[in-house]
Chains A and B, each alone.
Chain A
């Protein structure tokens, strides 16, 4: 009978969780200096947005939100591939480079 007294998670709960996840990603991007960890924090933000897309898709009863998440995942994969290519090219030359050293990319 406990099940009747417990609240059921509504889309609002998922949206709040997504907001917290997004903020953690933002703080990570601002605090960390390792370019690889920066990319991981960007992935956190992308996942937060995906989570809110799916929550809205269920709330609206429209599968379009889920196909948007599908496209977001494809673009995220492409972004990680190109970003890691740049990181490999920089770190091969200077293995201890942090994001502050990215200013050497200036022409």
Chain B
């Protein structure tokens, strides 16, 4: 059963990822990205990360991709990009070679270290007493217990990001230079 889930979700992930790279229309690329994100969410569920699967769908597929689509529509850049125009002749073969080399190197490392990575503790579903909401409780205990400072700092980070974006994307008034502070 888990094999079936893995194969289907893996096909979704890889198909969507190839779609992002290959589709010339930005909107199509964004929709392919949604397919990939849903596949990753399914794989999260298959690995007992239920909370992260929900966050993946809500934050990534819900918020980030919608933000992408907003920007595409807002700027009117939803034109097909001509992939045949290539300023640097060597770039594409080099990119493919680097990609294949990366996959083979990481794959070799993963397969070579397969025997050495051992299960050091009980699986996650055994740690939690109640399997229904055990994962959420475990993450909450970890985030709000051990990493509470990092959690608070992410709120600072988000505020800085929002303020910075408002300043960056704001339309300057006539006769005003961006960044002049007046």
**Is there an interface contact between A63 and B142, defined as CB atoms closer than 8 Å?**
yes
By a beta-carbon cutoff of 8 Å, the part of chain B in contact with chain A is 1-3, 6, 10, 13-14, 17-18, 20-21, 26, 29-30, 33, 36-37, 40, 43-44, 46-49, 51-52, 55-56, 59-60, 63-64, 67-68, 71-72, 74-77, 81, 87, 91-92, 94-96, 98-100, 102-103, 106-107, 110-111, 114, 117, 119-124, 126-127, 135, 138-139, 141-143, 146-147, 150-151, 154, 157-158, 160-162, 164-166, 168-169, 171, 178
Number of A-B contacts (CB under 8 A): 231
A47–B56 alpha-carbon span in the complex (Å): 9
A69–B54 alpha-carbon span in the complex (Å): 13
Q: Chain B binding site: helix, strand, loop or mixed by DSSP? A: helix
Q: How far is the CB of A28 from chain B (nearest CB, A)?
A: 4
Is A30 interfacial (CB-CB < 8 Å)?
A: yes
CB neighbors of B among A15-69 (8 A): 15-17, 19-28, 30-34, 36-37, 39-41, 43-44, 47, 50-51, 54-55, 57-64, 66-67, 69
Say whether, besides A40-B33, A64-B142, A88-B169, A80 and B64 are in contact (CB < 8 Å): yes
